[in-house]
Amino acid sequence: MPQALTSADPFQVLGAPGGVELHLLATDRFRTTVVQWVAEAPLDGGRSARALLPDLLTRGTRRSPGLAAMAARCEDLFAAELSSQVSGHGRRQLLRFGFEVVGDRHAGGRPLFTEAVALLAEVLHDPPLVEGRFRADHVEQERANLVRAIEGLADDKATYAYRRMVEALHAGTPYALHSWGSVEEARALTESDVRAAWTVLREEAPVRMLVVGEVSPEAALSAAEALVARGQHRPPGTALAPPLAPGRPVQRLREVQRLSQSKLVLGFRLPPAMLSGASAPLFALALGGDSHSRLFKRVREKESLAYGCSAWVGLSSATLTVQAGIDAGAAERVEQIVLEELARLARGELPDAELELSRRAYQRQLRNLQDHPRAHCAFRLDTLLDGRTPVVREALEQAGRVTPADVAEVAAGCTLDTVFLLEGRSA
């Protein structure tokens, strides 16, 4: 029988064929229906082979062997959007395949949902193999694309600086790894590596399936059966404990490049016990989440030290990140201000008006989720993986109960771990 995690949960949680965990939000609120098939894997040495699969599998099926043919299939389904991506979440690698299609009621009764499920099943299970192998030219093209994408991470200097900080902060753990893998691993991929990763994906990897739209439980279960084929998947994982703090002195790293703007990234560790409710997200918003925040008003507006200064909490890794685009000579002063503002928050110096601005911003973000079927899926998946409530109504209520003392407790628990400065020089 369909179940919900709590009485307020609009989703039904069903045990689907093949061990798939099915989450269904049956609603006529949206014109479209969204399906996401999310497989989990550890962030380990095989991640590049898995990272190749989303683009490789969606470029063609045996019935529609090519990008043009796939585009024509999607166009025939009232311009259905087929999607695939790989991402990291804590120490997990997530492979997502799915679609968004016009609801059957808006398509003159045509069974678009069933037809789109059939196309996604082809993507997962029936690629255009040649003698049981992926086409060599397809593998080579996608491998070259993956190598270029990994190399291109260094081109976005803000992202590069953040990644360098994360790699130092979490060195020696999966939390330091990118979901795409390394250039060396990607270059060394063989067709057999990719095919082995595909076999695990379709036959045993833990899978959550999320469906939002005007779909009955029976239709959702039928779709899951079509997508699972003959696989027997392991149960999806529960929330994982964040990495332990190593108890070391603050790491200070610096790299010089030819840039017009330097990038400063500070990484703090947080006590995991403080991350289950809304206190940590509200703390991050109050510190550096918007134009009302402490860091925006002081670092940017009052002292003109940064082009931008923001803060956010990584719930899966129990970390606070503060990032600023600055002149290199301002790095020490910006760090000092961040520590001063953390200390002020830890002493409870957060007026009710400031907290209320952060609360409204956070609750607005949560309410906006309810207007987009994909956002429903993303929020639910993230919260399940982080061990938080996946029910928007409950998250809104949690935010309404946060006090300045709760924010002070989070701020007091922040411990500076890593400072990375990407120093820009004109020559």
Res 36: pLDDT = 98
Closest by Cα among 256, 393, 257, 271 to 320: 271
Confidence class for position 159, pLDDT limits 50, 70, 90: very high
Instruction: Determine what percent of the chain is predicted with pLDDT higher than 90.
Output: 87
Amino acid letter, residue 102: V
Class of domain 251-425: alpha beta
Confidence class for position 5, pLDDT limits 50, 70, 90: low
Mean pLDDT of the chain: 94
Q: Which of 27-31, 146-150, 327-331 has the lowest mean pLDDT?
A: 327-331
pLDDT in tens, 343-376: 999 999 999 999 999 999 999 999 998 899 999 9
Cα–Cα dist 167/233, whole Å = 32
**12-228 against 251-425: fold identical:** yes
Per-domain residue ranges for the chain? 12-228, 251-425
Res 7: pLDDT = 65
Q: Strand 251-258 relative to strand 415-425: parallel, antiparallel, unpaired?
A: parallel
Q: Taking residues 260-271, report their average pLDDT.
A: 94
Asked whether the beta carbons of 196 and 68 are under 8 A apart, the reply is no
Q: In terms of pLDDT, which residue wins out, 95 or 245?
A: 95
Res 96: pLDDT = 98
Res 237: pLDDT = 82
Confidence class for position 1, pLDDT limits 50, 70, 90: very low
Cα–Cα dist 14/346, whole Å = 43
Res 231: pLDDT = 85
Res 276: pLDDT = 85
pLDDT in tens, 55-91: 999 999 999 999 999 999 999 999 999 999 999 999 9
Confidence class for position 307, pLDDT limits 50, 70, 90: confident
What is the chain's alpha carbon radius of gyration, rounded to the nearest angstrom?
Answer: 23
- With 70 as the cut, is the pLDDT of residue 272 above it? yes
Res 297: pLDDT = 92
Confidence class for position 12, pLDDT limits 50, 70, 90: very high
Retrieve residue 378's tokens: 């993303």
CATH superfamily for domain 12-228: Metalloenzyme, LuxS/M16 peptidase-like (3.30.830.10)
Res 336: pLDDT = 97
Asked whether the beta carbons of 229 and 257 are under 8 A apart, the reply is no
- With 80 as the cut, is the pLDDT of residue 426 above it? no
Confidence class for position 308, pLDDT limits 50, 70, 90: confident
- With 70 as the cut, is the pLDDT of residue 204 above it? yes
pTM: 0.94
Q: Taking residues 124-149, report their average pLDDT.
A: 97
Q: Taking residues 171-199, report their average pLDDT.
A: 96
Q: Which of 103-107, 136-140, 148-152, 269-273 has the lowest mean pLDDT?
A: 269-273
Q: Strand 207-213 relative to strand 21-26: parallel, antiparallel, unpaired?
A: parallel
Question: Facing residues of 269 across strands?
Answer: 319, 415
